[in-house]
Amino acid sequence: MARYEGRCLCGAVRYRAEAEPINERVCHCRICQRAIGAAFNARLLFRIDDVTIEGPVATINSTPDLKRGFCAACGTTLFSRRDSRNILGVTSGSLDDPSLFKP
C-alpha cells in the first residue's frame, strides 16, 4: 500500500505515490505564490512514473516547462509537473496525512 496518498478538497481527484520522495521543499518564488495563492508552495517531489493520479485533473503551464495540476471541480492545487526532469511535486496540504511532509 502506498504511504503517500492524497486528494483534493472535494475528493474527485486522488493520487498515490509508490516511492519515497526525491525531495521535500518549500518554494517562495513569485510564480508559486501566485499559483497557490499563499506565501509559499510546500511540496514533495516524486518521479512522474511513481505517482498515479485519478480523476478530473486540469492543468495550466506556469512556464513552458512546468505544468500546474488542479482539480477541475473544486480547484485544489495538487501538483506541479516538470516533464523534462521527470519530476512531479505534490502539494503537502493535499496529503491524507500531512505530517509525512518533512522539508
Footprint (CB under 5 A) of Zn ion, residues 33-52: none
Residue 8 near Zn ion by CB under 5 A:
yes
Q: Is 50 left (phi over 0), alpha (psi -120 to 50) or beta?
A: alpha
Residue 73 binds Zn ion (CB under 5 A): yes
Give the SS3 label for residue 84: helix
Instruction: Write out the three cell numbers for 61.
Output: 503551464
10 binds Zn ion (CB under 5 A): yes
Instruction: Determine which residue in the list 2, 19, 58, 74 makes contact with Zn ion, applying CB under 5 A.
Output: 74
Choices 31-39, 42-50, 58-66, 82-90 (CB under 5 A): range interacting with Zn ion: 31-39
71 binds Zn ion per the rule CB under 5 A: yes
Distance CA 72, CA 64 (A): 21
